[in-house]
Structure formats: structure tokens, C-alpha cells
Amino acid sequence: MFESVGWGEILVLIIAGLFILGPERLPDAAAWLGKSVRKVRDFATGARQQLRDEMGPEYDEFRKPIEDLRELRSFDPKRVVTQHLFDGDTDPLGMNNINGNGGDHYKPNGYPGATKSAEPLKPGEKPPVDPDAT
């Protein structure tokens, strides 16, 4: 119910309640709010159970479209388009196969790179020059 309310917002509400109601009435107001929320929750649960009892097996058919709509909350268009275009390939450009991790090796500019991993330079050795980088 309060999924989007964080601890910071709750703290602000408590401080605002403290200033508005005062320290002597704040505990009574918090108890009243807790009882009210509990009653609303009980009413909703009772109504849901009554609907389920009256509709019987048709209740599940009624709930299916609602559950589908809830799944849309986690809809990520970028992920869906990537899965559709690349058939679920997590590395469509082969970028994880660079520097000896297997498969074909290409530099970021698209040209073939070295097929073995680079060895560390020895003391006093100059690094090789890449004409594409200079």
C-alpha cells in the first residue's frame, strides 16, 4: 500500500504531526490512524473473500486480466526491444569476447584485434604503437 513512501517521507510526516497536533495528542492520533488502516484492510479482505465465494471458479478468470495489468508495472521497453531484435542474445555485438575471452576478437572500432591476450611489458620496453589510436 505504501510502496512508494520511504523512511524520509515518514519522518517528515511524524515531525509535521508533532508540530500540528502537539506532543500530547500525537500518540492518540497515531493509534487512531493505525486502527483506521486496519479496519480498511479488513474490509478489503472481507470484500475480496465474499467476491471469491460468490463468483466461484469464474473469479480466477476475472483476476487474470488484472494480474496481466500488474505485470505491466515492471515493463521495460528497452529490454523487450533488445530481446525481440537479438533473440535474447545478451551480447549481440560480441563485446564480451574482447581480449582473449573467446570467439572472434575485434577492436571497438570494428577492426580485427589481437587473438591472444596482451603480455605485460618488460622493464625498459616501449609499448607498441596503435596507428588507429594516434
pLDDT of residue 134: 62
Please state, in angstroms and rounded to a whole number, the distance separating the CA atoms of residues 48 and 108. 57
100, part of any domain: no
Domain count, the chain: 1
46, part of any domain: yes
123, part of any domain: no
61-79 confidence digits (pLDDT tens): 888 888 888 877 777 788 7
Please state, in angstroms and rounded to a whole number, the distance separating the CA atoms of residues 68 and 60. 12
As a whole-number percent, the residues of the chain with pLDDT over 70 amount to 74
The boundaries of the domain holding residue 51 are 35-90
78, part of any domain: yes
Count of CB atoms situated within 10 Å of the CB of 32? 10
pLDDT at 114 > cutoff 60: no
85, part of any domain: yes
